[in-house]
Amino acid sequence: MSDRSTRRRRLVILISGGGSNLQSFMDACAEGSLNAEIAAVISNKVSAKGLERAANAGIPNIVLDHTEFPSRGEFDAALGDIIDSFSPDLVILAGFMRILTPPFVNRFLGRLMNIHPSLLPKYPGLHTHQRAIDAGDKKAGATVHFVTAELDGGPAIVQAEVPIFKKDTAEILAARVLEYEHHIYPLAAQWFCEGRLELDDGDVLLDNELLPEGGVCVEIRQKR
């Protein structure tokens, strides 16, 4: 076995809010399904509840307030320096509500992941669940993807599909999707930590095989 598959990898997780996806990473690390340690949690908002989750778990947590910087680029440069100070193998965006500049993305290209609450390439941006309902879609879901300079446009790693029911509101659908975000995001990170997953010139390879546009697709069957 290679060092990459046996050594615990170091993660830095970026948040802006409650940190439910952060919690899924903390749980996966604790139970051993994710062979990694969370080196730091960084938020651009002092009010982010996820900071309390990190503090309660003894994880270094840092606030870098974007409003204190004159430009997006200067904030991203400072953020990148803090991230690098923890020497992470992988950077996880977990509800980090900032559009990142190309220099930042390129700095961590191939080791920067995000999760988006739609079946990309459908519905990049905001209000994804309402847009899926309004379109009459039969299914919704979430996509873990590598981050590139294109907003929500990085190549997909894994998706989870969930049904849309007739009585669903955006809030009900969001809660259903979120449950499966908590499964697929640590799973994608584990593939990376095992050395099985990589971004190669814009393509995603898993076990040296090219993944399709939507990545690995997991269909979830749920009761109404």
Residues known to be catalytic: 116
User: Given its phi and psi angles, is residue 92 left (phi above 0), alpha (psi -120 to 50 degrees) or beta?
Assistant: beta
Is-contact 116 143, C-beta < 8 A? Answer: yes
Is-contact 159 167, C-beta < 8 A? Answer: no
E strand map for 31-134? 36-43, 61-63, 90-93, 112-116
**96 CB-near residues (< 8 Å, 6+ apart):** 14, 15, 16, 44, 114
